[in-house]
Structure 1
């Protein structure tokens, strides 16, 4: 009986969390700095809001290189990791428009797309790359922590 209550409580928490996202409250994901020397003060958040089978995600970042061009993407889990999506090297599933940081190193960008682009193991993480060298990834926001 005790186990049933725990399972019911966990299911209720998950259901309420998904309801708030679907009702427009959105879900916030915090960026973490990757293990490289690029933009060491970079930080930010991604807020994803779902409505009618669509997702709209806004990235708000700071600490970037001032007046530099960037690109960002949702990625699916890749083969390199089952526990750290940011290290998994997965394929792009939804791209944000290219953007520039301002003179203070701040930037904001929004993308909207079909929810199927980030469903399941898709959309496991969002990363921000230098537009001039996509291999440089200063920050990443894990969206889903494990495969499956």
Structure 2
């Protein structure tokens, strides 16, 4: 009987871990600079962690932004333009972060808590940081998932 339990755990373990792979533990995603002239020194990370009850809390920690400038950030789904680079795929917004402004040193931190189903799988493929005054200016992007499906 003991051998059967080991086999079941051997099968169930990876399935349980796989279901938590995106947000099972705090996961850090690094922002990369987009190929444009917006905030050339911008860097940062996004830390996503389970909040319980199917909720996820994501904290963006950013630096190198334009001091005093207003920004917006969003989770985006994969778009039609790319199956390998989420940041270039032009996908729709799935979750918005609260608007924020860089401090006098160009630093900012912003947090959003949302349902995991809104950002998992193809729905949460990347996070963009945009200028609030010009959403087409996207200094940095954090790939959350690197392939569709």
| C-alpha distance 53-17 of structure 1, shift in aligned 2 (>3 A) | closer
Alignment of 1:1-148 (within 5 A): 12=14, 15=17, 18=20, 21-22=23-24, 25-50=25-50, 51-148=52-149
Aligned residues: 137
| C-alpha distance 17-46 of structure 1, shift in aligned 2 (>3 A) | farther
Report deviation, 1:137.
0.2
Instruction: Report SS of the residue matched to 2:48.
Output: strand
User: 1: distance between equivalents of 2:108 and 2:141?
Assistant: 15
Report deviation, 1:88.
0.1
User: 2: distance between equivalents of 1:85 and 1:20?
Assistant: 16
Instruction: Report SS of the residue matched to 2:117.
Output: helix
TM-score (norm 2): 0.86
User: 2: distance between equivalents of 1:115 and 1:18?
Assistant: 11
Q: Gaps spanning 5+ residues in structure 1: where?
A: 1-7
Structure 2 contact 65–102 (Cα < 8 Å) conserved: yes
| C-alpha distance 124-109 of structure 1, shift in aligned 2 (>3 A) | same
Instruction: Report SS of the residue matched to 2:87.
Output: helix
Structure 2 contact 72–129 (Cα < 8 Å) conserved: yes
Deviations 1:14-47, CA, capped at 9 Å, x for gaps: 928937943xx41000000000011000000000
Report deviation, 1:119.
1.6
Q: Gaps spanning 5+ residues in structure 2: where?
A: 1-9
Instruction: Report SS of the residue matched to 1:65.
Output: coil
For the pair shown, the structure with the greater C-alpha radius of gyration is 2
Instruction: Report SS of the residue matched to 1:121.
Output: helix
TM-score (norm 1): 0.86
RMSD: 2.1
